[in-house]
Chains A and B, each alone.
With several copies, the nearest count.
Chain A
Amino acid sequence: MDTVYKISKAEQLNTDTFLFTINSEKVSKKARAGQIVHVKCGDEDGVLLRRPISICSVDRENGTFDIVFQIRGKGTKILSKYKAGDDIDIMGPLGQGFSLYPKHKKIIVVGGGIGIFPLLQLLKDHPAENKKAILGFRDKSCVILEKEFKQASDKLIITTDDGSYGEKGFVTDILKKELDKEPADMVFFCGPLIMMKLGVGIVKEYDIPCQVSMEQRMGCGIGACLVCVCKTKKGDDWDYTQVCKKGPVFGGDDIIFD
């Protein structure tokens, strides 16, 4: 199976965040919001494993899709050196994306840090009438894709930890305020574990269903090696479930945060 595609655009969004547009009929046709690709970064320094990166947005007409990633360690550092025209080795689309229900009229997406990326295509694809996005960043210099999220949503609230841009504070506090104003049919979370844990607790108070996108270190990326698990409910019991195959998106109720 061929997994090598061409990067048609490589753009630096801020000091450590990069956007690649990748040509792939296959991925762009099959991809659903929330799914991931598993990226081979390179062989430098004995780096072996692929890195899981969310599909950020898809251009089905032109057969391309975008990924956005931040430099965190060795692999993403190597990846950041790719240029337009380079080949990139990608497995995907992988996993289960967000479930979009046409009957839902009002939705809210809540994202933090590198968790905002999969929410963009979700907003684009969701048929709801009213789509709110609450996105949290560390500070002003970290704010990216603002225009794109504005376009894809009906209301965009940006927060920063230090208040240097948008509202000051946590996305979960903003979520609470928004839900106090007006309920929603579904809330989608993607970001740090603690944010999702808090978020799931909040929407439960309002009796609103939610979906969360989980993060875990991965090996195979396709469900075979069982390294990427998170704790999920299973009747009265619980289980370790593969994030790469059964996730990354789970029902908020299915996850045991501990």
Chain B
Amino acid sequence: MNDSINLKVNIGGLELKNPVIAASGSFGFGREYSRYFDLNRLGGIAVKGLTPLPRKGNPPPRIAETPSGILNSVGLQNPGVHEFIEKEIPFLRGFDTAIIANASGNTVEEYESMVEILSDADVDAIELNLSCPNVKEGCLSFGSSAKGVNNVVSSVKKYAKKPLIVKLTPNVTDITEIAKAAEDAGADSVSLINTILGMAIDAKTRRPILGNITGGLSGPAVKPIALRMVYQVSKAVKIPVIGMGGISNGTDAIEFLLAGASAVMIGTAGFVNPMAWVETIEGIEAYMALNHVNAVTELIGGLIV
């Protein structure tokens, strides 16, 4: 780590020592990867999507490989927010990294209660998941219209005592509208993109590969779409943007920063390379050293058009 390089970013009140965050759903609650690298390295960890009560999730198979991408249909399997608070936060607090609680609900009331509960828990920010394509109720149905987003975000805002990140779905006609709705309703930042609804078929068996028929696409395949959306959204809103979708290394992360992201999240790449998060931080540092950039914030939105 080069000492003259400043990697700190501030995401609407959430201070990160570096802009690389583990994306929700790829990283569990951090325990497993703690055996692969020092979690202290990470800017933050967005934990597995939480709901008020435990959820079993969708029937397997829950993953399919597609060209340069994967489809997943986990469907928010999680132990519920209370077990998270009791068992997982103490573990995560052992590390010097931001804890971001990713929260979902079936109804506006559930979202409110999640934000209320998490505001009193020892987390650094709350990421409101309005974009999971793998559950039938709530979530995506709120997230795919400006009205729905405004409704949920303004309802939870009064309970939020932590920076509120609103996670957006790419499965919409105009993501800037949705982002603006989140901003107007009081979001401190937005994160994008969640997965893109897709499908894989096994021609031999003539059946869908996923137990849930459809799933969410992530990984390098979606990078150009994610990059475009981050670019559009960061021009449309004033709050910070957290970019993700297919980031695998430092160069990818730099592209998102240039497009306007203030931080990045990485999910799928970690399945391929468990060191992807750490190597991305190193790659950002190397790029900054090579290009004489002292503060990572200088890169944000630095695209020359």
Interface residues of A (CB under 8 A from B): 1, 3, 40, 45-50, 74-75, 91, 216-230, 238-240, 245
Contacts and interface: CB of A to CB of B under 8 A. Distances in A.
Given A46-B220, A245-B32, A225 B72 contact: yes
Contacts of B64: 217
Interface string B8-34: 000000000000000001111001110
A212 to B, nearest CB: 16
A222 B77 contact: no
A174 to B, nearest CB: 28
Contacts of A75: 65
Contacts of B167: none
9 contacts: A220-B26, A222-B274, A223-B28, A224-B32, A225-B28, A226-B57, A229-B57, A238-B56, A240-B77
A229 B275 CA distance: 24
Nearest to B58: A240
B32 A217 contact: no
A242 B270 CA distance: 17
Contacts of B268: 48
Nearest to B76: A226
A220 B68 contact: no
B72 A1 contact: no
A220 B60 contact: no
B57 A240 contact: yes
A228 B28 CA distance: 13
Interface of B: 25-28, 31-33, 35-37, 48, 56-57, 60-70, 72, 74, 77, 219-221, 268, 270-275
A250 B72 CA distance: 24
Contacts of B77: 226, 229, 240
Q: Is the interface of B mostly helix, strand, loop or mixed?
A: loop
A40 B35 CA distance: 19
B271 A225 contact: yes
Given A229-B57, A240-B56, A223 B69 contact: no
A226 B33 contact: no
A111 to B, nearest CB: 22
Nearest to B30: A224
Contact of B70 (A1, A48, A229): A48
A230 B273 CA distance: 24
Contacts of A45: 67-68
A226 B271 contact: no
Nearest to B62: A227
Most buried by B among A50, A224, A225, A227: A227
Contacts of A40: 272-273
Most buried by A among B70, B72, B272: B272
B70 A219 contact: yes
A222 B32 contact: yes
Contacts of B274: 1, 3, 91, 220, 222
Contacts of A220: 26, 32, 270-271, 274
Nearest to A222: B32
A224 to B, nearest CB: 4
A66 B61 CA distance: 28
Given A47-B65, A48-B65, A222-B32, 14 more contacts: A1-B36, A46-B66, A46-B221, A48-B70, A91-B274, A219-B63, A222-B33, A222-B35, A222-B274, A225-B72, A225-B74, A226-B74, A229-B57, A230-B60
Most buried by B among A216, A220, A221, A225: A225
B221 to A, nearest CB: 7
A225 B73 CA distance: 11
B62 A229 contact: yes
